[in-house]
């Protein structure tokens, strides 16, 4: 083989190795990025944890409110994915149930968080499979 043929083969081999390693690295990275969603939470933090962080709940409040939030967590996520307006209605129902356990400061924090959530841009549409 002459030098030109060896150079072309070396370039093709390098290109092929790059594609193969890129394929495997991509799948490893994607596995790490999306694995938290497979652990039962729809988001990296559950709604219960998010509410606890926002409202700074006391242990007594957390004990009373957690079952209510867990009851609504899956419904909110599924509904918001399908229909944002209906999801907001369910979130409003949950808010009504937990308000009696909150202080005025916590009610204001919750109101601000709900306002922020309702004014987020709508989720991007999911890609449809080609037919």
Q: What share of the chain is helix, strand, coil (3-state, %, to 5)?
A: 80, 0, 20
Does 129 map to a domain?
A: no
* Same domain (yes/no): 51, 112: yes
* Same domain (yes/no): 47, 30: no
* Same domain (yes/no): 16, 70: no
Work out the number of other CB atoms within 10 angstroms of the CB of residue 23: 10
| Sign of the alpha-carbon dihedral angle for 91, 96, 101, 102 | positive
107 closest CA partner among 42, 61, 59, 63:
61
pLDDT for 5 beyond 80? yes
* Same domain (yes/no): 20, 73: no
Domain holding 22, by residue range, is: 3-37
* Same domain (yes/no): 84, 65: yes
For residue 45, the model assigns a pLDDT of: 53
Q: How many domains does the chain have?
A: 2
Does 48 map to a domain?
A: yes
pLDDT for 1 beyond 60? yes
pLDDT, tens digit, 9 for 90 and up, residues 19-58: 888 888 887 777 666 554 444 444 445 677 777 788 888 8
For residue 42, the model assigns a pLDDT of: 42
* Same domain (yes/no): 18, 62: no
For residue 40, the model assigns a pLDDT of: 44
């Amino acid at each position: 083989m002459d030098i030109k043929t060896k150079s072309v083969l070396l370039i093709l081999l390098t290109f092929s190795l790059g594609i193969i390693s890129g394929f495997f690295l991509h799948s490893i990275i994607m596995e790490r990025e999306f694995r938290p969603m497979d652990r039962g939470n729809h988001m990296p933090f559950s709604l219960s944890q998010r509410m606890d962080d926002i409202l700074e709940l006391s242990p007594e409040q957390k004990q009373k409110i957690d079952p209510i939030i867990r009851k609504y967590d899956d419904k909110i996520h599924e509904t918001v994915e399908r229909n944002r307006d209906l999801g907001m209605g369910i979130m409003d129902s949950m808010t009504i149930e937990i308000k009696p356990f909150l202080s005025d400061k916590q009610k204001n924090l919750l109101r601000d968080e709900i306002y922020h959530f309702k004014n987020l841009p709508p989720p991007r549409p999911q890609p449809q499979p080609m037919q």
